[in-house]
Amino acid sequence: MYDVNNIYEAFSIEEAVRLKVEHPDAKIIAGGSDVLIQIREGKLAGVDLISIQMIDELRGVSMLPDGSILIKPLTSFYEVTYNEIIERYLPTLGYAVDQVGGPQIRNIGTIGGNICNGVTSADSAATLKAYDAVLKITGPDGKRTMPYLDFSLGVGKVDLREGEILTGIIVPKESYERTYGHYIKYAMRKAMDIATMSCSANVRLSKDLKTVDRFRIAFGVAAPVPTRAVSAEAAVQGMPVGEALLDTVSKAVLQDLNPRSSWRAGKEFRLQLIKEMARRCTKEAITKAGGKI
């Protein structure tokens, strides 16, 4: 039995927002794979919950008229990975969320929950940052959108204000078009693990496949929040494809990142992973784009 004070069930976005306004201290529960565990641990014991699990309008992936991809927040990791639009246009995201936990967790865990937790190790986070995702948020005062880049405020803190819930994640066409990405999750196990370090990179090459037109790289667990390494991106803009580019990325990412030591892994080790993963992830993305290194 979960030590919950009250569970309020919402069946529509409107109802969820209303419940959130009425019970400002209540915690939103989507899939529950984080919230229920925190209740059992005692961190959230006695909490009021607003369950949004049954809001079917918050599920699914679609392509908007402008070619952007809309992922609704209750879409499970499994549904993201095996969605045809994702498989075709955003395979890196599909792959990234396929690294979460195990099959059962990927059925219950939601992509919205993954980013609203504000955890640096979230498997979707680095990729969504690297694809310039935009968030749709609904609150008592209406709707707003914001870049995902600005959403993370700190460890476990995101920019959701009083009564607001996340209602959509949009990946603009400009971000994924002619773009090839790769994700590496480094963990102690190949399943049922959280990342020790994660890296997502994507690249658009020039028509002749010789130079970098556009480059994105982001990391999880390399800083308190999932972080894009903008210095590295700038450093390789327009660079010719080759080993030197990989060296540049591998060094430059360190300017944007600040991994910490914990009992799970030390800073020195994480820095080694950052350097190596930046190199490998970039190389793989370039190779997928048709570049030769």
Contacts with other proteins by CB under 8 A lie at: 1-4, 6-7, 9, 29, 32-33, 36-37, 40, 42, 45, 51, 53-54, 78, 101-105, 107-108, 186, 188-194, 196, 263-266, 268-269, 272-273, 276-277
Between CA 87 and CA 96, with CA 90 as vertex, the angle to 5 degrees is: 90
Shortest spacing between CB 25 and other proteins, in angstroms: 18
CA atoms within 13 A on the CB side of 256: 25
Beta carbons within 8 Å of 130's beta carbon, 6+ residues apart = 181, 200, 201, 202, 216, 217, 218, 228
Task: Return the number of the residue (42 or 142) whose C-beta is nearest other proteins.
Answer: 42
Do the beta carbons of residue 8 and residue 51 sit within 8 Å? yes
CB 75 within 8 Å of CB 81: no
Nearer to other proteins, 45 or 234 (CB): 45
For the CB of residue 186, give the shortest distance to other proteins in the complex, in Å: 7
In the bound state with other proteins, the residue whose beta carbon lies nearer, of 56 and 162, is: 56
Q: Which is nearer to other proteins, 30 or 285 (CB)?
A: 30
- Cβ at position 107, least distance to other proteins in Å: 5
To the nearest whole angstrom, how small is the minimum distance from the Cβ of residue 77 to other proteins?
Answer: 12
Q: Which residue, chain included where needed, has tokens 């694809």?
A: 131
CB of 40 to other proteins, least distance (A): 6
CA neighbor of 101 nearest in space, from 123, 80, 79: 123
By beta-carbon proximity to other proteins, the closer residue of 15 and 159 is 15
Q: Which is nearer to other proteins, 166 or 194 (CB)?
A: 194
β partners of residue 158? 152
Q: Nearest 5°: CA angle at 282, between 195 and 91? A: 70
User: Which of 13, 105 has the CB closer to other proteins?
Assistant: 105
Rounded CA gap, 70 and 63, in Å? 6
Angle formed by the axes of helices 243-252 and 267-288, to 10°?
A: 140
Least distance (Å) from other proteins to the CB of residue 232? Answer: 18
- Which DSSP helix (H) or strand (E) runs through 8? strand 4-9
Pick 6 or 255: Cβ nearer other proteins? 6
- How near is the Cβ of 123 to other proteins at its closest, in Å? 14
Sign of CA dihedral 130, 195, 104, 2: negative
Burial class (CB in 10 A: 0-12, 13-18, 19+), 13: middle
CB of 110 to other proteins, least distance (A): 13
